Amino acid sequence: MKQYDAIVIGSGQAGAPLAKKLALAGMKTLIVEKRFYGGTCVNYGCTPTKTMVASARVAYLASKCNDMGVTIKGYKVDMRQIKKHKDEIVLKSRNGGLKAAENTENLDVLFGEATFTGAKTIRVRTKKDGLKEFKADKIFINTGGKPVIPNDIEGINEIDFLTSTTILDLEKVPEHLVILGGNYIGLEFGQMFARFGSKVTIIEKSGRILSREDEDISLELTRILEKEDITIRTNAKAARVKQKDKGKITVTIKTGDAEDKIKCSHVLVAIGRAPQTDTLGLDKTGVKTDDKGYITVNTKLETNVKGIYALGDVKGGPAFTHISYNDYTIVYRNLIEKQNLSIRNRPVPYCMFTDPELGRIGITETEAKEKGLNYKVAKLQMSHVARAIETGDTRGMMKAIVDAKTKKILGVAIVGTEGGEIMSVLQMAMEGGITYDRIRYCVFAHPTYSESLNNLFMTLED
């Protein structure tokens, strides 16, 4: 059994940089990766999906260019070329990260599945050398999540369903794609494949898509997607699925007491994700998990077992790449730089990369109301934003929740082109305590999207 100072399980956006930093700080470190270096973000999440979203946007712009005075005689979507382009970018990122790790002094990289055999010992099954055992005083778990497959849908395991991972390998555009789930993953893929040429139907069990967002934000996105001929069915649930000889799939939809059937070529399951903890053997360590399998941690990301930490999606909470990366910075700075950092009250910005995108930070109006806060709401349609008018895309809206007394910004939702970038401007204001009345009269460069923050806060009366 080989001894290390630190073992990192998983090479995601927390594990990979943490392993390098620990090694460079003089700790003999092992990083274990089950499949592809870089984790979900690089291989199945941000990098591939946003690359394909970009291809879909080019198709959308081609369909609209005649309106801008640039005439073309049509275009063709080449799904194989889209996949090839995506694969090249993924491989460049994956191989770059792996090479950097392999060239790091004090860092060993091992591919295989890790399972705990004791509190601070793991066994790794590798394809090349079989079983190998290792131990370390400090262990960091960054195994991420995986798509949830709903077992309450009759026949789901008897059809060739797609997940957010397998849909990335399609080389033909689906004729009719039915998506189970009307949140971020489902909506991004839904719009993407509609633009590639698929008929798309989204099935959402809640009363509206994006049920965690304010109703006006949800309705704004609904209108945008429906204008692209995407069918959205809410208060609906897939009850049964059936496929004959790997051909057409029949999805039985239940809405209240009524049932109807949809025939489609493909089904994408996008109802959520679950932590990858079932094969870790956590019972051998005493590390506690919650009722959903997420590893429980304190505000310093340490589990109930001293010296074992969990970072990223596997610990629950906001499942975003930037949160996972921030987890790494907190753990590293606390351990190596002897700081006293906590995950408590950190900002949680996020974007949904539909087109236009949704940028979000802070609380919603619904949350402000539930908390009984004294607040005001500023709203501005993108049709009143000069830059949006000039670029020919006025879809969406800006919305900000502010404290009526202190004038501080409490939350922001931006649906629009560059929505995430506009949101980030307001996030910086929130971080610096800059009040909305100062932003209202701030001098921004013209014509930019952020310049319209003047007009957004002009809608508020002091």
Tokens, residue 291 = 């009722």
The one-letter amino acid code at 330 reads I
Q: How many CA atoms within 13 Å lie on the side-chain side of 124?
A: 24
Contact 9, 140 (CB under 8 A): yes
Decide if 446 is catalytic.
yes
202: helix, strand or coil: strand
Q: Which residues pair with 114 in a beta bridge?
A: 124
DSSP string, 375-438: EEEEEEEGGG-HHHHHHT----EEEEEEETTT--EEEEEEEETTHHHHHHHHHHHHHHT--HHH
Spot the catalytic one: 85, 322, 384, 446. 446
Contact 318, 337 (CB under 8 A): no
- The C-alpha atoms of residue 442 and residue 187 are separated, in whole angstroms, by 35
Closest by Cα among 144, 129, 103 to 8: 144
- The C-alpha atoms of residue 354 and residue 155 are separated, in whole angstroms, by 30
Alpha carbon 16 to its chain centroid, in Å, reads 18
Closest by Cα among 301, 248, 304, 241 to 269: 241
Catalytic residue numbers, as ranges: 446
